Amino acid sequence: MSGSPRAVNSAKRTGDMMRDSALGLVPETLDAYMDLNRCIWEAGPLRPAELEIARLRNARTVNCVFCKSVRYDLARLDGLDESRVDMIDDDYAGSDLSEREKLILAYTDQYLFNPAAIDEALKSSLLELFSPAELVHLSLAVAHFNGFSRCAVALGGMPDKLPIMEISLPD
């Protein structure tokens, strides 16, 4: 996919996927990132399955092989199974996803491609089904997910494909 990595962590392996990656070269930054990640998943008003839908849509858009293969255990426990994940494609509007889930995908796409141009129909639908705090949480989550996946892609060295893997928030 992205050829040879542009940064490699050659330190002794710890068994921690994040710390063993190139991100482990800047532990202070990685620690702050992980703290923010935990807050996004545990402290906001959106459910984990809703966050995972936005995260996976972003991963698909950016084409981050790692991000596309990860499933957060919190989202699975919240009911997001692979049959629902499979609906996060270009035909999601005709899928069996809930209206709220479809709006999360529409908003994520809008955020990623042209955040200033939300049309009145989307804006109205979002305001009907989401509180202002939920929209802020979704925006911050998508920004966070997008930044991380773009960083992973920019650093290179990812394989063409990875198996689906479940991860937990680190302690």
- Answer whether residue 11 is part of any domain: no
Which residues are within 8 A (CB) of 43 and not within 5 positions of it... i.e. 6 or more apart?
none
**Distance in angstroms (rounded) separating the CA atoms of residues 102 and 93:** 6
**Distance in angstroms (rounded) separating the CA atoms of residues 143 and 53:** 14
| pLDDT tens for the 171 residues of the chain, in order | 456 766 666 777 887 777 777 777 788 888 898 899 999 999 999 999 999 999 999 999 999 998 999 999 999 999 999 999 999 999 999 999 999 999 999 999 999 999 999 999 999 999 999 999 999 999 999 999 999 999 888 887 778 888 999 999 877
- Answer whether residue 121 is part of any domain: yes
- Answer whether residue 97 is part of any domain: yes
- Answer whether residue 7 is part of any domain: no
* pLDDT recorded at residue 162: 87
Structural domain boundaries enclosing 103? 17-167
* pLDDT recorded at residue 3: 65
* pLDDT recorded at residue 136: 97
- Answer whether residue 10 is part of any domain: no
CATH number at residue 35: 1.20.1290.10
DSSP summary character for residue 87: T
Residue pair 40/136 in contact (Cβ under 8 Å)? The answer is no
If one counts the domains in the chain, the total is 1
* pLDDT recorded at residue 23: 76
- Answer whether residue 62 is part of any domain: yes
- Answer whether residue 5 is part of any domain: no
DSSP summary character for residue 13: P
Q: In a 3-state reduction of DSSP, which class is residue 71?
A: strand
- Answer whether residue 9 is part of any domain: no
Write down the pTM of the prediction.
0.91
